[in-house]
Amino acid sequence: MTTLTKGPELVKAPAPAPAARRRGRWVTIALFLLPAIVLFLMLVVAPMVVAAYASLFRWNGFGGLPTDFIGLDNFTRLFSSEIFVQDMWHLVVLVASSIFVQLPFSLAVAMLLHQRMRGRAIYRMVFFAPYVLSEVITGVLFSLILSPGSGMANQVLSVFGWESEWLADPDTVLPSLFLVMTWKYFGFHMMIYLAGRQNIPNELVEAAQIDGATGWKTFRYVTLPLLGPTIRISVFLSVIYTIQLFDLVWILTGGGPSHASETMAVTMMDWGFKRSQVGYASAISVVMFVLSLVFALFYQRFVMRRDLEGATTSMGGRP
Protein backbone atom coordinates (compact mmCIF):
# COMPACT_ATOMS: atom_id res chain seq x y z
CA MET A 1 0.00 0.00 0.00
CA THR A 2 1.70 3.09 1.27
CA THR A 3 5.14 1.59 1.17
CA LEU A 4 5.35 1.22 -2.57
CA THR A 5 5.92 4.88 -3.37
CA LYS A 6 9.12 6.61 -2.33
CA GLY A 7 9.12 9.58 0.01
CA PRO A 8 10.64 12.90 -0.94
CA GLU A 9 14.43 12.84 -0.95
CA LEU A 10 15.26 14.68 2.23
CA VAL A 11 18.07 12.49 3.38
CA LYS A 12 21.26 14.41 2.69
CA ALA A 13 20.46 17.68 4.46
CA PRO A 14 23.23 18.59 6.97
CA ALA A 15 22.34 18.49 10.66
CA PRO A 16 20.69 21.83 11.49
CA ALA A 17 21.80 24.12 14.31
CA PRO A 18 20.09 23.59 17.71
CA ALA A 19 17.79 26.64 17.60
CA ALA A 20 16.65 25.86 14.08
CA ARG A 21 16.20 22.26 15.04
CA ARG A 22 13.96 23.17 17.94
CA ARG A 23 11.86 25.32 15.64
CA GLY A 24 11.85 22.47 13.12
CA ARG A 25 10.55 20.17 15.80
CA TRP A 26 7.59 22.42 16.47
CA VAL A 27 6.93 22.74 12.76
CA THR A 28 6.89 18.96 12.48
CA ILE A 29 4.53 18.59 15.41
CA ALA A 30 2.18 21.22 14.05
CA LEU A 31 2.21 19.92 10.50
CA PHE A 32 1.57 16.35 11.59
CA LEU A 33 -1.08 17.10 14.15
CA LEU A 34 -3.04 19.95 12.60
CA PRO A 35 -4.92 18.11 9.83
CA ALA A 36 -6.35 15.58 12.28
CA ILE A 37 -7.19 18.21 14.87
CA VAL A 38 -8.88 20.55 12.40
CA LEU A 39 -11.00 17.78 10.90
CA PHE A 40 -11.89 16.46 14.35
CA LEU A 41 -12.83 19.85 15.75
CA MET A 42 -14.93 20.76 12.74
CA LEU A 43 -16.87 17.57 12.19
CA VAL A 44 -16.97 15.91 15.60
CA VAL A 45 -16.54 18.44 18.41
CA ALA A 46 -18.35 21.39 16.85
CA PRO A 47 -21.46 19.38 15.86
CA MET A 48 -21.62 17.92 19.38
CA VAL A 49 -21.51 21.41 20.87
CA VAL A 50 -24.09 22.67 18.38
CA ALA A 51 -26.38 19.74 19.22
CA ALA A 52 -26.18 20.56 22.92
CA TYR A 53 -26.74 24.25 22.19
CA ALA A 54 -29.62 23.70 19.77
CA SER A 55 -31.45 21.49 22.26
CA LEU A 56 -32.27 24.67 24.21
CA PHE A 57 -33.93 26.37 21.26
CA ARG A 58 -36.91 26.11 19.01
CA TRP A 59 -35.19 25.71 15.66
CA ASN A 60 -36.04 24.38 12.22
CA GLY A 61 -32.40 23.98 11.22
CA PHE A 62 -32.29 26.96 8.87
CA GLY A 63 -30.79 30.43 9.01
CA GLY A 64 -27.51 30.12 10.88
CA LEU A 65 -27.49 29.36 14.59
CA PRO A 66 -30.83 29.11 16.43
CA THR A 67 -32.18 32.21 18.18
CA ASP A 68 -35.53 31.29 19.70
CA PHE A 69 -34.34 30.32 23.20
CA ILE A 70 -36.82 28.22 25.17
CA GLY A 71 -34.65 26.86 27.98
CA LEU A 72 -35.35 23.27 28.92
CA ASP A 73 -38.78 23.16 27.28
CA ASN A 74 -37.63 20.63 24.71
CA PHE A 75 -36.60 18.28 27.48
CA THR A 76 -39.78 18.62 29.53
CA ARG A 77 -41.76 18.05 26.36
CA LEU A 78 -39.58 15.05 25.56
CA PHE A 79 -39.99 13.31 28.89
CA SER A 80 -43.73 13.84 28.89
CA SER A 81 -44.01 12.45 25.35
CA GLU A 82 -45.42 8.96 25.27
CA ILE A 83 -43.31 7.99 22.27
CA PHE A 84 -40.07 8.87 23.97
CA VAL A 85 -40.98 7.05 27.17
CA GLN A 86 -41.75 4.04 24.98
CA ASP A 87 -38.35 4.43 23.30
CA MET A 88 -36.68 4.09 26.66
CA TRP A 89 -38.78 1.06 27.51
CA HIS A 90 -37.77 -0.54 24.18
CA LEU A 91 -34.16 0.14 25.06
CA VAL A 92 -34.57 -1.64 28.39
CA VAL A 93 -36.27 -4.62 26.72
CA LEU A 94 -33.64 -4.94 24.01
CA VAL A 95 -30.72 -4.55 26.40
CA ALA A 96 -32.19 -7.13 28.76
CA SER A 97 -32.82 -9.57 25.91
CA SER A 98 -29.28 -9.08 24.67
CA ILE A 99 -27.71 -9.67 28.06
CA PHE A 100 -29.88 -12.58 29.13
CA VAL A 101 -30.49 -14.33 25.81
CA GLN A 102 -28.13 -13.25 23.04
CA LEU A 103 -24.90 -13.14 25.00
CA PRO A 104 -25.41 -16.46 26.84
CA PHE A 105 -26.26 -18.00 23.48
CA SER A 106 -23.07 -16.57 21.97
CA LEU A 107 -21.10 -17.84 24.94
CA ALA A 108 -22.57 -21.32 24.63
CA VAL A 109 -21.77 -21.49 20.92
CA ALA A 110 -18.25 -20.19 21.60
CA MET A 111 -17.65 -22.91 24.18
CA LEU A 112 -19.03 -25.44 21.71
CA LEU A 113 -16.72 -24.30 18.96
CA HIS A 114 -13.77 -24.28 21.31
CA GLN A 115 -14.02 -28.07 21.43
CA ARG A 116 -12.03 -30.07 18.98
CA MET A 117 -14.50 -30.94 16.30
CA ARG A 118 -14.42 -31.38 12.59
CA GLY A 119 -15.34 -28.29 10.62
CA ARG A 120 -15.23 -25.84 13.51
CA ALA A 121 -13.26 -23.34 11.42
CA ILE A 122 -16.11 -23.34 8.90
CA TYR A 123 -18.74 -22.94 11.61
CA ARG A 124 -16.87 -19.97 13.03
CA MET A 125 -16.55 -18.39 9.63
CA VAL A 126 -20.24 -18.85 8.83
CA PHE A 127 -21.46 -17.60 12.22
CA PHE A 128 -19.39 -14.44 11.96
CA ALA A 129 -20.32 -13.72 8.34
CA PRO A 130 -23.56 -11.75 9.00
CA TYR A 131 -21.57 -9.28 11.07
CA VAL A 132 -19.76 -8.28 7.88
CA LEU A 133 -23.00 -7.66 5.97
CA SER A 134 -24.55 -4.23 6.17
CA GLU A 135 -27.56 -3.55 8.37
CA VAL A 136 -29.49 -2.59 5.24
CA ILE A 137 -28.94 -5.94 3.51
CA THR A 138 -29.85 -7.75 6.72
CA GLY A 139 -32.90 -5.59 7.26
CA VAL A 140 -34.29 -5.90 3.74
CA LEU A 141 -33.64 -9.64 3.68
CA PHE A 142 -35.53 -10.20 6.92
CA SER A 143 -38.33 -7.82 6.06
CA LEU A 144 -39.03 -10.16 3.12
CA ILE A 145 -38.58 -13.35 5.13
CA LEU A 146 -40.78 -12.14 7.99
CA SER A 147 -43.46 -10.64 5.77
CA PRO A 148 -46.78 -11.84 7.21
CA GLY A 149 -48.37 -12.65 3.87
CA SER A 150 -45.98 -14.69 1.79
CA GLY A 151 -42.77 -14.56 3.81
CA MET A 152 -40.64 -17.64 4.12
CA ALA A 153 -40.89 -17.80 7.93
CA ASN A 154 -44.66 -18.18 7.91
CA GLN A 155 -44.57 -20.75 5.13
CA VAL A 156 -42.23 -22.88 7.20
CA LEU A 157 -44.17 -22.44 10.41
CA SER A 158 -47.53 -23.06 8.77
CA VAL A 159 -46.42 -26.66 8.37
CA PHE A 160 -46.62 -26.85 12.16
CA GLY A 161 -49.88 -24.95 12.14
CA TRP A 162 -48.34 -21.82 13.58
CA GLU A 163 -48.06 -18.37 12.06
CA SER A 164 -47.05 -14.96 13.26
CA GLU A 165 -47.50 -11.39 12.15
CA TRP A 166 -43.83 -10.82 13.06
CA LEU A 167 -42.93 -7.19 12.40
CA ALA A 168 -46.49 -6.15 11.62
CA ASP A 169 -47.90 -6.77 15.09
CA PRO A 170 -47.04 -4.42 17.98
CA ASP A 171 -46.87 -7.42 20.30
CA THR A 172 -44.37 -9.42 18.26
CA VAL A 173 -42.34 -6.68 16.63
CA LEU A 174 -39.72 -6.35 19.38
CA PRO A 175 -39.02 -10.10 19.64
CA SER A 176 -38.81 -10.24 15.84
CA LEU A 177 -36.39 -7.33 15.80
CA PHE A 178 -34.37 -9.04 18.48
CA LEU A 179 -34.27 -12.22 16.41
CA VAL A 180 -32.75 -10.30 13.50
CA MET A 181 -30.27 -8.57 15.80
CA THR A 182 -29.21 -11.96 17.12
CA TRP A 183 -28.74 -13.31 13.61
CA LYS A 184 -26.50 -10.42 12.75
CA TYR A 185 -24.52 -9.87 15.95
CA PHE A 186 -24.17 -13.09 17.91
CA GLY A 187 -21.21 -14.22 15.78
CA PHE A 188 -19.33 -11.10 16.79
CA HIS A 189 -19.75 -11.80 20.49
CA MET A 190 -18.94 -15.43 19.85
CA MET A 191 -15.59 -14.41 18.33
CA ILE A 192 -14.76 -12.21 21.32
CA TYR A 193 -15.53 -15.08 23.69
CA LEU A 194 -13.48 -17.50 21.61
CA ALA A 195 -10.52 -15.14 21.78
CA GLY A 196 -11.02 -14.76 25.52
CA ARG A 197 -11.27 -18.51 26.00
CA GLN A 198 -8.06 -19.02 24.07
CA ASN A 199 -6.25 -16.76 26.50
CA ILE A 200 -7.12 -19.03 29.42
CA PRO A 201 -4.20 -21.37 30.09
CA ASN A 202 -5.25 -24.95 29.49
CA GLU A 203 -3.39 -26.03 32.64
CA LEU A 204 -6.09 -24.42 34.77
CA VAL A 205 -8.89 -26.31 33.06
CA GLU A 206 -6.93 -29.55 33.12
CA ALA A 207 -6.10 -29.13 36.80
CA ALA A 208 -9.79 -28.78 37.60
CA GLN A 209 -10.59 -31.88 35.60
CA ILE A 210 -7.87 -33.88 37.37
CA ASP A 211 -9.38 -32.79 40.65
CA GLY A 212 -12.60 -34.43 39.47
CA ALA A 213 -14.64 -31.45 38.34
CA THR A 214 -17.37 -32.26 35.85
CA GLY A 215 -17.68 -30.40 32.56
CA TRP A 216 -20.29 -28.03 33.97
CA LYS A 217 -18.36 -27.39 37.18
CA THR A 218 -15.19 -26.68 35.25
CA PHE A 219 -17.10 -24.15 33.21
CA ARG A 220 -18.92 -22.61 36.16
CA TYR A 221 -15.98 -22.30 38.54
CA VAL A 222 -12.95 -22.00 36.24
CA THR A 223 -13.75 -20.89 32.71
CA LEU A 224 -16.61 -18.50 33.43
CA PRO A 225 -14.83 -16.44 36.11
CA LEU A 226 -11.73 -16.21 33.94
CA LEU A 227 -13.88 -15.02 31.03
CA GLY A 228 -15.23 -12.22 33.25
CA PRO A 229 -13.31 -9.36 31.62
CA THR A 230 -14.32 -10.55 28.15
CA ILE A 231 -17.97 -10.85 29.10
CA ARG A 232 -17.97 -7.41 30.70
CA ILE A 233 -16.56 -5.89 27.50
CA SER A 234 -19.16 -7.64 25.40
CA VAL A 235 -22.00 -6.42 27.64
CA PHE A 236 -20.59 -2.92 27.39
CA LEU A 237 -20.49 -2.99 23.59
CA SER A 238 -23.97 -4.44 23.42
CA VAL A 239 -25.50 -1.71 25.59
CA ILE A 240 -23.72 1.16 23.83
CA TYR A 241 -24.80 -0.22 20.47
CA THR A 242 -28.42 -0.62 21.54
CA ILE A 243 -28.64 2.96 22.81
CA GLN A 244 -27.84 4.15 19.26
CA LEU A 245 -29.77 1.46 17.39
CA PHE A 246 -31.05 2.93 14.15
CA ASP A 247 -30.28 1.27 10.79
CA LEU A 248 -31.97 -2.08 11.37
CA VAL A 249 -35.11 -0.56 12.86
CA TRP A 250 -35.37 2.07 10.15
CA ILE A 251 -35.23 -0.59 7.44
CA LEU A 252 -37.31 -3.28 9.13
CA THR A 253 -40.17 -1.28 10.56
CA GLY A 254 -39.42 2.43 10.46
CA GLY A 255 -40.30 2.33 14.16
CA GLY A 256 -43.78 0.96 13.60
CA PRO A 257 -46.36 -0.46 13.83
CA SER A 258 -47.68 2.52 15.79
CA HIS A 259 -44.25 3.28 17.32
CA ALA A 260 -44.04 -0.20 18.87
CA SER A 261 -40.42 -0.71 17.78
CA GLU A 262 -39.23 2.87 17.75
CA THR A 263 -35.84 3.69 19.22
CA MET A 264 -34.45 7.04 20.32
CA ALA A 265 -32.38 7.43 17.16
CA VAL A 266 -35.43 6.72 14.98
CA THR A 267 -37.51 9.27 16.88
CA MET A 268 -34.69 11.78 16.53
CA MET A 269 -34.40 11.29 12.76
CA ASP A 270 -38.14 11.49 12.45
CA TRP A 271 -38.41 14.85 14.20
CA GLY A 272 -35.17 16.25 12.81
CA PHE A 273 -35.60 15.44 9.13
CA LYS A 274 -39.25 14.70 8.49
CA ARG A 275 -40.75 17.41 10.69
CA SER A 276 -37.85 19.89 10.76
CA GLN A 277 -38.00 20.33 14.54
CA VAL A 278 -34.23 20.29 14.88
CA GLY A 279 -34.21 21.79 18.38
CA TYR A 280 -36.49 19.09 19.75
CA ALA A 281 -34.59 16.37 17.88
CA SER A 282 -31.33 17.72 19.29
CA ALA A 283 -32.74 17.28 22.77
CA ILE A 284 -33.21 13.60 21.96
CA SER A 285 -29.63 13.33 20.77
CA VAL A 286 -28.42 15.00 23.95
CA VAL A 287 -30.30 12.43 26.01
CA MET A 288 -28.71 9.65 23.95
CA PHE A 289 -25.29 11.15 24.52
CA VAL A 290 -25.76 11.63 28.24
CA LEU A 291 -27.13 8.10 28.55
CA SER A 292 -24.11 6.62 26.76
CA LEU A 293 -21.70 8.75 28.75
CA VAL A 294 -23.23 8.06 32.15
CA PHE A 295 -23.43 4.37 31.39
CA ALA A 296 -19.84 4.26 30.15
CA LEU A 297 -18.42 6.14 33.11
CA PHE A 298 -20.47 4.22 35.64
CA TYR A 299 -19.70 0.89 34.02
CA GLN A 300 -15.99 1.52 33.74
CA ARG A 301 -15.79 2.89 37.24
CA PHE A 302 -17.68 0.13 39.01
CA VAL A 303 -17.88 -2.91 36.76
CA MET A 304 -14.75 -2.96 34.63
CA ARG A 305 -12.42 -1.44 37.22
CA ARG A 306 -11.00 -4.78 38.23
CA ASP A 307 -10.21 -5.56 34.60
CA LEU A 308 -8.41 -2.30 34.04
CA GLU A 309 -6.11 -3.06 36.94
CA GLY A 310 -4.85 -6.13 35.12
CA ALA A 311 -6.71 -9.42 35.06
CA THR A 312 -5.83 -12.87 33.83
CA THR A 313 -7.06 -12.33 30.32
CA SER A 314 -5.91 -9.40 28.25
CA MET A 315 -9.14 -8.47 26.52
CA GLY A 316 -10.01 -5.91 29.17
CA GLY A 317 -6.81 -3.99 28.69
CA ARG A 318 -7.48 -0.46 27.53
CA PRO A 319 -4.81 1.54 25.77
Partner 1 sequence: MSPTRKKASPRRGTLPLHAIALVVGAFMVVPVVYALLGGFKHNSELSGNPFGLPETWVTANYTDVLASGSFWLQLWNSTFIAVVTTVLTVALSALAAFVFARFAFRGRELFFTLFTAGLMFPFAVAILPIFVLLRTFGLLDNPLGVILTQAAFGLPLTIIILRGFFRSIPGEIEEAATIDGCTPFGFFWRILLPMARPAIATVSVLAIVGSWNNFMLPLVVFSQETSWTLPLGIQQFQGQYASDTARILAYLILAMVPALGFYAIAERHLVGGLTAGATKG
**Chain residues 154-173 in contact with partner 1, contact rule CB under 8 A:** 155-156
Q: Give the alpha-carbon dihedral of 309, 313, 316, 318, to 10 degrees.
A: 70
Distance in angstroms between the alpha carbons of the first and the last residue of the chain:
26
Interface positions, 66-105, toward partner 1 (CB under 8 A): none
Measure the CA–CA gap between 263 and 36, rounded to whole angstroms: 33
Report which of 283, 293, 292 is spatially closest to residue 71, judged by C-alpha positions. 283
Q: Among 75-83, 95-103, 149-157, 170-178, which window interacts with partner 1 (CB under 8 A)? A: 149-157
Closer by beta carbon to partner 1, 130 or else 259 = 130
Judge contact between 221 and 304, C-beta under 8 A.
no
DSSP, res 68: E
Q: Which of 57, 84, 142, 219 binds partner 1 (CB under 8 A)?
A: 142
Judge contact between 251 and 139, C-beta under 8 A.
yes
DSSP string, 243-292: HT--HHHHHHTTT-STTTT--HHHHHHIIIIIS--HHHHHHHHHHHHHHH
Q: Should residue 231 be labelled a site residue for partner 1 when binding is judged by CB under 8 A? A: no
For the window 32-61, what string marks contact with partner 1 as x by the rule CB under 8 A?
xx-xxx-xx-xxxxxxx-xx--x------x
Q: Should residue 282 be labelled a site residue for partner 1 when binding is judged by CB under 8 A? A: yes
Q: Should residue 204 be labelled a site residue for partner 1 when binding is judged by CB under 8 A? A: no
Q: Which of 195, 204, 208, 213 binds partner 1 (CB under 8 A)?
A: 195
Q: Among 95-103, 141-149, 164-172, 205-213, which window interacts with partner 1 (CB under 8 A)? A: 141-149
Q: Among 72-80, 94-102, 119-127, 302-310, which window interacts with partner 1 (CB under 8 A)? A: 119-127
For the window 7-36, what string marks contact with partner 1 as x by the rule CB under 8 A?
xx-xxxx-x---------xx-xx-xxx-xx
Q: Which of 133, 157, 224, 308 binds partner 1 (CB under 8 A)?
A: 133
Judge contact between 249 and 263, C-beta under 8 A.
yes
